[in-house]
Chain A
Amino acid sequence: GDSVTQMEGPVTLSEEAFLTINCTYTATGYPSLFWYVQYPGEGLQLLLKATKADDKGSNKGFEATYRKETTSFHLEKGSVQVSDSAVYFCALSDRRRNTGKLIFGQGTTLQVKP
């Protein structure tokens, strides 16, 4: 079945460092891809998305490019801030089946130190 694999955390960085969180997926259909972020004590919220190959999603300085050839959707940010400390989830949705169901990765905790 469809699945999402993320790099294990926690990822600990100093402020202004470059961030990469790896995400790869397995899907038989034509997935849309998402990054969700969960700040402490809150629910998940959509950070960015991409609906087809080579699309780049971006928001709040974060970017991710839908790479069909490597089945990847890595999250990047050029300069992290302490306020970016959170748990990041990669997810996919099979648009062809259109069930609305999302398949989530296990989440990666990011800790940014001043």
Chain B
Amino acid sequence: DAGVIQSPRHEVTEMGQEVTLRCKPISGHNSLFWYRQTMMRGLELLIYFNNNVPIDDSGMPEDRFSAKMPNASFSTLKIQPSEPRDSAVYFCASSSRGESYNEQFFGPGTRLTVL
């Protein structure tokens, strides 16, 4: 298996632009998680899905952030409009709820820089 795939790996954009981050979970996994990591705030859970349905989006910082999971093999995290404080590494992770210990598999991350 190729593992969790994220694209792009690096994104540099200007303030006010729309940014879309993409994630392909491991085939057969039915839970998907979006995290943000910064030096100041550490690792934060933004939102997670079970069976393509958003379960908890309480970590989404504000309405500028939105996430979708149209099918079991694809999810997007969109920021519109982007701001410099959104600069961070964004990770996607997936897991199989059938496993009793809920191990999460992380993608390599997208490093976002908003100028």
Residues of A bordering B, CB below 8 Å: 32, 34, 36, 42-46, 49, 51, 89, 93, 95, 98-102, 104, 106-107
Please tell me if the beta carbons of B48 and A100 are within 8 angstroms of each other in the complex: yes
Q: Report the nearest B residue to A33, measured CB to CB.
A: B101
Residues of B bordering A, CB below 8 Å: 4, 31, 33, 42-43, 45, 48, 50, 55-56, 91, 93, 95, 97, 100-109
Please tell me if the beta carbons of A42 and B108 are within 8 angstroms of each other in the complex: yes
Sample of 5 A–B contacts (CB below 8 Å): A44-B104, A46-B105, A95-B102, A99-B48, A100-B33
Which among B95, B101, B108, B109 is the interface contact of A49 at CB below 8 angstroms? B101
Please tell me if the beta carbons of A107 and B43 are within 8 angstroms of each other in the complex: yes
- In Å, the complex CA distance between A19 and B104 comes to 25
- In Å, the complex CA distance between A51 and B109 comes to 27
Please tell me if the beta carbons of A99 and B55 are within 8 angstroms of each other in the complex: yes
Please tell me if the beta carbons of B97 and A100 are within 8 angstroms of each other in the complex: yes
Which among A43, A99, A102, A107 is the interface contact of B42 at CB below 8 angstroms? A107
Report, nearest first, the 10 A-B pairs whose CB atoms are least far apart. Answer: A43-B106, A100-B31, A32-B101, A93-B102, A44-B106, A100-B102, A106-B42, A51-B101, A100-B97, A43-B108
Besides the contacts A36-B106, A101-B56, what 12 more A-B pairs have beta carbons closer than 8 Å? A42-B109, A43-B109, A95-B101, A99-B55, A100-B31, A101-B33, A101-B48, A101-B102, A102-B102, A104-B42, A106-B43, A107-B43
Q: Report the nearest B residue to A32, measured CB to CB.
A: B101
